[in-house]
Chain A
Amino acid sequence: MFLVFSVVIVVFSLLTVTSRRILRAATFLLFVLVSTSGLYFLLRFNFLAAIQLTLYAGGIVVLIIFSILLTSHISEKLAVPPVTKRIYAAIAAIAGAVLCILTILQTQFVQKTLDPARVHIRTIGEGMLSTGKYGYALPFEVISVLLLAAMIGSIILAKKRKD
């Protein structure tokens, strides 16, 4: 099951960055995000997987598709980037990936025995609002202020000017 999800993720993310039609690229991105949420379900983070589905796959992809429809034609194909640029980018990406993967494979990790228990939603809520150790009240407040600021900022930015 893990193999299926990871193959889907890798193939569709490659298609996302190489597809010449921009709307298809957005659809492939949707597949990547949905199979990532499947990985979270496998790891038994059900709440996180639901958040991934609703926020990423439901919210961000729809936002991206809307902006694609606002800014470009559907049938329009993107220009193929020049070969030298593609080669240099591929060299940079592959070199970085090989370096990181070699480092990962040489590292010994101490794996714990897995508990199959699901994360209870009560635990998440109490962790979000507690101020003690392993409590996340301050990041929670900061993120709410950030969301408010982003909301106001994007409304002001996208608003039509009068002049």
Chain B
Amino acid sequence: MSGRLEQLHHVVALALNVDDAEVGDDASMDTVGAWDSLRHLYVVMAVEEAFDVKFDDGEAVAVTSFALIRGALERRGLTFSS
């Protein structure tokens, strides 16, 4: 559902304190200047809270792009369609 995808874009953008438009499907720590190591902690916390999931400690460190976050959520049964 596109609503959930939009929500994920918004949650990540809000945690990074950037406009939603800056968080495309290909957004990552390498492409978004504001997505530094410490801001990533807030991305993880925000996504976990918004989608009521809990990443394991290693996974939380590893999901450093929008696609990886989406994939981690899909593995937990959440579906996204554009």
On whether the two chains bind one another, the answer is: no
Binding site for B on A (CB under 8 A): none
Residues of B whose CB lies within 8 Å of any CB of A are: none
